[in-house]
Amino acid sequence: MRPATDAALWLGVTRLLMDRQWYDAAFVKQFTDFPLLIRADNLKRLRAHEVFPNYRSALPDDGPSKQVQGLTAEQHAQLGDFVIWDRRSNAPKPIHRDLVGRKLVEANLDPALDWSGQLTLVDGSTVEVKTAWAQYQVHLQDYDLASVAEITGAPAGMIEQLAQDIATIKPCSIHQGEGINHWFHATEANRAAYLPAMLTGNLGRPGAGVHGWAGNYKAALFQGSKLTGPGFKGWVAEDPFHPNLNEHAHGREVEAHAYTKDEEPAYWNHGDLPLIVNTPKEGRKVFTGQTHMPTPTKAMLFTNVNLINNAKWAYGVIKNVNPRVELIVSIDIQATASVEYSDLALPANSWCEFEDLEITASCSNPFLQIWKGGIRPLYDSKDDLSILAGIAKGLAQVTGDTRFHDYFHFEHVGKRQVYIQRLLGHLHHHRRLPGGRHHGRKVRSARRRTDELPHLPADPVLRADP
């Protein structure tokens, strides 16, 4: 399907589910906000205190909102309670946050999904209201099957089949990429993806839900301690002035010291200028920081990220920001837009092409994984660590400072597992059994192809002139 049309796809699927009644009515009434009444004059949810004189909330102090979610009385007073149109009494009824699932049924309430009308408020005025369901029916008029097929480029039959599968296959889980979470209007785009799951009851059940492939790896699994060592920090921030070159050293013997100073990428995206905003609540605010201002960026080296895709204004980055940076180096497995606008593009191996051991856990699969790739690299690419070690080796040759080389010593000598073992925090044994076999888990170093930096077959793509 065409990029940036995710929301249109899900809105089209939502309309099919509603029009063809492929939804779980009981779940929609008991667990979603589709039955809540919305004011037509300001498009805000109608609050119970606006309709019922001297209204006092019945939200219990021992209910899940306060006892599990930690909702305070002040927060509840600010949020208020909502209103539904009850089919049993044919009248508006207040509803609080804990009236969900069987609690709603026990309260003898039957919310109407498709309802609109006028209500008299406590101040004597009248206001037109509609359920969120009715509001969506108006909104979804623009997302008929033919229009969605045209917008997305996806065949109408496949969109229809997708809607039917979501309605009939239980459980159903929707996984979507990181991109839409890095753009303006991300709330609307993500809610559109949740709508089919809300309609079909595919929330709160094992194997169901809507999930983002956020891209970050679970560094929290490698927590440090006095017993095991610095953990992830020792992996990414071993003191470059005191690298531990003893391959038998325990993880806790690694000296971690971060010399970096974090800066929000938005400053770079703002043209390396102070980011000052007149905010509605806090007035004039300097987001650059209270102790420093960003300095002009001289060079950028990044891996596994498409900065241009994540930028809130890609044209501004390409035209006004990147041309001022003297060197841009991208390490990636795909020819992304950021690769296209880099001075040097260094191709990395995919997971199945890794030539040596790697370890990780991710958002979507939070289990510790360690492996080496199963196929030879298809192109002239290398493992990420090999690329970084090669850059460091080149810096050592240019500057004469061997510490660049030493920082990746065990990668240079084909013993990457030393770094992994330190991360796991266990002593690395090298005692051998008869026959040359290792005692314990067998680890084989991968064949080193070359210590030279990888290169693209074609000339590197240079940045566009400003």
Domain edges within the chain: 217-260+348-466
The Cα 318–Cα 315 span in angstroms is 5
Sign of the alpha-carbon dihedral angle for 171, 177, 179, 182: positive
Indicate the pairing of strand 126-131 with strand 276-279. unpaired
What is the per-residue pLDDT for 455? 38
What is the per-residue pLDDT for 450? 33
Per DSSP, the residues of 197-252 read HHHHT-SSSTT-EEEE----B-GGGG--BTTTBSTHHHHH-B-TTS----TT--GG
What is the per-residue pLDDT for 274? 75
Cis peptide, bond prior to residue 171, ω within 30 of zero: yes
The Cα 339–Cα 307 span in angstroms is 9
| The token pair that represents 343 in the structure block | 């001075």
- 223 residue type, one letter: Q
CB 46 within 8 Å of CB 53 = no
What is the per-residue pLDDT for 182? 58
Phi and psi torsions of 118, nearest 5°? -115, 145
Per-residue confidence in pLDDT tens, the chain, 466 aa: 887 788 999 999 999 999 999 999 999 999 999 999 999 999 999 999 999 999 999 999 999 999 999 999 999 999 999 999 999 999 999 999 999 999 999 999 999 999 999 999 999 999 999 999 999 999 999 999 999 999 999 999 999 999 999 999 999 999 876 655 555 567 788 889 999 999 999 999 999 999 876 656 667 778 788 888 888 888 889 999 999 999 999 989 999 998 887 765 656 667 777 778 899 888 998 876 666 666 778 899 999 888 887 776 788 888 888 898 999 999 999 888 899 999 999 999 988 899 998 887 766 666 777 888 889 999 999 999 999 999 999 999 999 999 999 999 999 999 999 998 888 875 444 444 334 333 333 333 333 333 333 333 333 333 333 3
Q: Please, what is the angle between helix 186-200 and helix 6-19, to 10°?
A: 30
What is the per-residue pLDDT for 276? 83
The Cα 192–Cα 174 span in angstroms is 12
The Cα 163–Cα 13 span in angstroms is 5
pTM for the predicted model, two decimal places: 0.62
